[in-house]
Structure formats: structure tokens, C-alpha cells
Amino acid sequence: MATYLHFAPAIALAVAAGVQRVGWRLTLAGACFAVLPDADFALVTLGLDRYNGPYGHRGFTHSIAFALALGAFGSLWAGPGWRRRLGAATFLALCTLSHPVLDGLLDRGICSAWLWPLDDARLCLDWRPVPMRGVPLFGMERFRQELLWIGLPLLLITNAVLLLRAGWHSVRSLRINGSTPCATQG
């Protein structure tokens, strides 16, 4: 598990999508949903399943189905209109799914039950570049590593998306402004 920055992809996604599409309430819900899968620790602590069981750590809460279900559930509060609800469901599902993706990128810990309930098997990503082996679960060293390997790439990707969007809007407004005289001449 990432200890500190599981919420960060939700913020990055909201910023990249734009405040007119994702408001602060939806952003907050997304940040909470991105952290929620690790609530599975409670099930293990309560003795409801073993650590690596389907309802244990990185079990069903780290699956694609759980992310889709949580997205659909959260969209019920998105307000009227199917477009609005579909957008909220997609955003919330992506935020939830970011959790097992981040877990999967770390080079330590058990793998996730991505395909539950179709398959309880734990599947690892082929690419696990974030070096967390030997780093304590809590503390400054962990925080520093997460900033470097999670926070910084998210910051760069988000800024790249914002730059691309700003460029696209500039090109579009140039086209619109450029076409106006022709339209008025005609």
C-alpha cells in the first residue's frame, strides 16, 4: 500500500478534468473512494477472512468490479441527468481503481484480486517500478519516497494535460476568431 498518497490520483484527475466538470464535492468523494479499498484491513482485524483471502487485504475491495460498483453507487448523489451521473460514476470508479493500480506499482506486498468475483486469484502487474522494499510503512522516508514516485509523476502528468488543454483551447479560439470574418463576409 501507498501510505500517504492514495488520495492524490483523485485530486490530479479532478484538476486535469477541470473544475467545471468535477466540482469540489465530487473531488472530495473521489479522494475518499481512492483510499477506501484499504478498509479491508478491518475485515482481517475482525477475523472475517484471512489476510490473503478473497475478503482479506487486497481482496475484493481491490477489484475492478468493486471500483465499478462504488462508482455507480456514488453517482446516485450526483444530481439529475444521465450525463452528470455517468460522468460522476466514471470519475469515482477511476478514483477507486487508482488504488489497486498504485498498490500494484509498488515492488512489495501481496497482489490484488483484480478479477473478483469471477476469479479470486491474486494478480500482480508485470511492471512494479516503485522501490518500497525495506522502506518502513510509516515515517518521513516513506513520505519522501511517495512524493518522489507518486506525487511528482502525478504533478508532471497533470501539468502536461493542463498545458495540452490550454493549447487546444488557444487553437480552437484562433479557429473560431479566424472564421468569424469569413462568416460575416458571406
Which positions lie near Zn ion, rule CB under 5 A? 1, 38, 103
Which CB atom, from 12 or from 78, has the smaller least distance to Zn ion? Answer: 12
- Grid cell 475482525 in the structure block, residue: 46
Q: Could you tell me the smallest distance in angstroms from the CB atom of residue 168 to Zn ion?
A: 35
* CA atoms 78, 82, 87, 90: torsion sign: positive
Which CB atom, from 110 or from 161, has the smaller least distance to Zn ion? Answer: 110
What is the DSSP code (8-state) at residue 167?
H
Total residues belonging to the chain: 186
Q: How many C-beta atoms surround the C-beta of residue 130 within 10 A?
A: 21
Q: Could you tell me the smallest distance in angstroms from the CB atom of residue 54 to Zn ion?
A: 15
Which CB atom, from 136 or from 167, has the smaller least distance to Zn ion? Answer: 136
Q: Could you tell me the smallest distance in angstroms from the CB atom of residue 125 to Zn ion?
A: 13
